[in-house]
Amino acid sequence: MSNKKALLNTAIGLIVVGLAIWFWKHPRADQAAATPQAEAPAGGRHGHGHHGPGGDKPTPVTAATVTVADIPVTHTALGTVIPSAVVTVTSRVAGQLIQVAFQEGQLVKQGQLLAKIDPRPFETALGQIQGQAARDQALLKNSQIDLERYKTLQAQDSIASQQVDSQASLVQQYQGTVQGDKASVENAKLQLSFTNITAPISGRIGLRQVDSGNNIDTTTPIAVINAIHPIHVVFTLPEDRITRVVAQSQSNAGLHKLKVEAWDKGNTRRLATGVLESIDNQIDTTSGTLKLKAAFTNEDDHLFPNQFVNVKLFSETIPHASVIPLNALQQGPEGAFVYKIVADSKGEKVVLQAVTVGHSDAEIAAITKGLQPGDRVVSSGIDKLKQDAKVRVKDPNHAVDPAEQAGDSGAGDHTNGDANGQADGQGRKHRRSAAAGA
């Protein structure tokens, strides 16, 4: 009996210990239900509140008011400065170069002496031709005298008519020879004048490519002259802008040409102001662009050949356009639109408003249809918006929005509360462990 009683007591003890361990690991249902109820308000204030009953909070945005202005349509492009004319200076006769009469890089005038070739061989050739011409002139004169004598004798029936005709033919031969001699003399003088090499155009001359003392011919380059007064800038525009530019250039042909400005590489300083001079006759199929050429007087020499510049072409002016910041303009599957701010019974909301863009640049967009002066559109905070979304317009003069700052403070309190709650939970767990051990 004593052994059975001992076994029964041992079994009862094991059952009690097992139940104690089970209750320690599994708290009561009322305690488990109390925990999420206590944490629910804190969770409502923390990030997920947008999806709960209190989550219909307005999105903070920055607004811009639609204004009215006359907007000039400006087309920007990258251009290359080119001379209005380029001439490679060469000699027109072969000979020894005995003088270079220009300074490299200087501005030269048309007809200015640039170089000189040894003229002595050409002077000698001219003298020979002039001597031959004098001889032929004397023969012509003598034949003419003989012809007059023969005509007198023919009138007296002293000589045959055939002799007179032969003499007349001889006179004509000498006349042709003398005429050829005159042309030869003029050609020799012209060749002699070519020994003085002059500037064919006005412009800036480059580095000399041959030195004095060399024998040169008609293929030897001496220097290159670039005409820079005026100077041209070649640039390209996309094909979708060509129709408007061509129409404006044709309509202004009888009044004034379209204005063009050339700016430096950093687009911070205007170098020159000119006019659109010509448009190419075909579009480049590889790039879908068309070449245009602008002319500049370049009196101050701010433009230099082969220089890269930023080009601004002013084609027209859009009158009374509705102007908004460029960052307020959005693009969708159906075209351009903006988020227009409208009044709501509970505050303000946004609606998608389709617009027609007349022109845009790096800062503004000119709207020709869809907005009225005084309308407000969202200019920042757009990525969180959708149709009929509630918004709250922030004050752009404050770096930190007061409402957002208050929300951040609440989140901080919630974080501290969670930390404290976790600490209390850890303490209770420790006390239960100690009690079980006892």
Whether residues 102 and 218 fall in one domain: yes
Q: Residue 40: its pLDDT value, please?
A: 43
Q: For 327-380, how does the pLDDT look when each residue is reduced to its tens digit (9 = 90+)? A: 888 888 888 999 998 888 778 888 898 998 888 877 888 888 888 888 899 988
CATH number of the structural domain spanning residue 329: 2.40.420.20
Q: Residue 253: its pLDDT value, please?
A: 54
If one counts the domains in the chain, the total is 3
Whether residues 99 and 205 fall in one domain: yes
- Pick the more confident residue, 37 or 303: 303
Identify whether the C-beta of residue 326 lies closer than 8 Å to the C-beta of residue 292.
Answer: no
Look at strands 95-100 and 113-117 and give their pairing: antiparallel
Q: Residue 195: its pLDDT value, please?
A: 96
Whether residues 231 and 289 fall in one domain: yes
Q: Residue 46: its pLDDT value, please?
A: 39
Identify whether the C-beta of residue 197 lies closer than 8 Å to the C-beta of residue 115.
Answer: yes
Whether residues 104 and 210 fall in one domain: yes
Residue numbers of the domain that contains 288: 74-82+224-317
Check whether 417 has a pLDDT greater than 50.
no
Domain presence at residue 183 = yes
Provide the 10 A C-beta neighbour count for residue 140: 21
Token pair, residue 5, equals: 């009683």
Whether residues 215 and 231 fall in one domain: no
Whether residues 257 and 212 fall in one domain: no
Reported as a pLDDT band with limits 50, 70 and 90, residue 217 is very high
Domain boundary (286, 317, 348) is at 317
Angle between helices 402-437 and 2-25 (to 10 degrees): 170
Q: For 163-204, how does the pLDDT look when each residue is reduced to its tens digit (9 = 90+)? A: 889 989 999 999 999 999 999 999 999 999 999 999 999 999
Instruction: State mean pLDDT over 51-80.
Output: 80
292 vs 277: CA distance, rounded Å = 8
Percentage of the chain surpassing pLDDT 90?
Answer: 45
**Terminal Cα distance for the chain, rounded:** 31
What phi and psi values does residue 71 have, to the nearest 5 degrees? -105, 120
Q: Residue 438: its pLDDT value, please?
A: 35
Check whether 412 has a pLDDT greater than 70.
no
- Pick the more confident residue, 130 or 437: 130
Domain presence at residue 23 = no
Provide the 10 A C-beta neighbour count for residue 204: 19
Instruction: State mean pLDDT over 28-37.
Output: 47
Identify whether the C-beta of residue 298 lies closer than 8 Å to the C-beta of residue 260.
Answer: no
- Pick the more confident residue, 95 or 420: 95
Whether this model's pTM surpasses 0.75: no
Q: Residue 437: its pLDDT value, please?
A: 40
Reported as a pLDDT band with limits 50, 70 and 90, residue 70 is confident
Mean pLDDT of the chain: 82
Domain boundary (254, 289, 317) is at 317
Whether residues 297 and 365 fall in one domain: no
